[in-house]
Amino acid sequence: MIDPSECFAAPISVAQEMTLVLPRGDHEHRCLIVMSEGKPVVVCLDELHQLGRFFAFECDGQNSWNGLHLPGVRIELDEASLSEAQGHFIPRGAMERSEDKLSLRVQFEGRFHSSASSITILDGLRACAAYQSACFLKWQIVLGVGEEKRVLATVDATPITN
């Protein structure tokens, strides 16, 4: 359950902090909005047509995407999902802790092209040693802390193997 003061309906362009946006109907999508390098970026957490999950794009001025905003969410990493994946072998949807930041591997839609890349979710964290990183295949989006904490979404980016 969420308190009415914790949410509001709006286009994604109004987000100013890490925000989970929930769909209100079939034509909206569950997404996470993050401030990556000072710009709002939307990451689709659900399948998006043929583009798949973890498709991302900058959302400045984007008024055609709407939903129920839950601002002020946090990310928690599942330590049991640590992976040996390094560098370009990190699967889409995985979180990587390296340098002084936490990054999310996405398919980023730029103005002229689409490419696999990492977007910064958090920075200014305690620095990892040089050339060291940790990859997490499972993580969750939470709101609140302590007894007030609620898990709003869980993500599993474990690659499917045949």
CB 2 within 8 A of CB 19: no
For residue 120, being part of any structural domain is answered with yes
CB 154 within 8 A of CB 77: no
Stated pTM of the model: 0.88
pLDDT computed for residue 88 by the predictor: 57
For residue 39, being part of any structural domain is answered with yes
What would the pLDDT profile of 120-135 be if each residue is shown by its tens digit? 999 999 999 998 899 9
Long-range contacts of 35-39 (CB under 8 A, 24+ apart): 36/119, 36/120, 36/121, 37/120
Q: Are strands 101-109 and 55-58 parallel, antiparallel or unpaired?
A: parallel
For residue 110, being part of any structural domain is answered with yes
CB 137 within 8 A of CB 74: no
For residue 160, being part of any structural domain is answered with no
User: Does residue 5 have a pLDDT over 90?
Assistant: yes
What would the pLDDT profile of 64-122 be if each residue is shown by its tens digit? 889 999 999 999 999 999 987 655 578 899 999 999 999 999 988 765 556 788 899 99
For residue 60, being part of any structural domain is answered with yes
Total domains, the chain: 1
Range of the domain at 12: 4-152
For residue 122, being part of any structural domain is answered with yes
**Which region, left, alpha or beta, applies to residue 124 given φ > 0 means left and ψ of -120 to 50 means alpha?**
left
Q: Which residues contact 158 (CB under 8 A, 6 or more apart)?
A: 81, 91, 137, 138
pLDDT computed for residue 123 by the predictor: 92
pLDDT computed for residue 89 by the predictor: 79
For residue 161, being part of any structural domain is answered with no
* Rg, the chain, Cα only: 15
pLDDT computed for residue 125 by the predictor: 96
What would the pLDDT profile of 45-57 be if each residue is shown by its tens digit? 988 776 678 999 8
For residue 20, being part of any structural domain is answered with yes
pLDDT computed for residue 7 by the predictor: 95
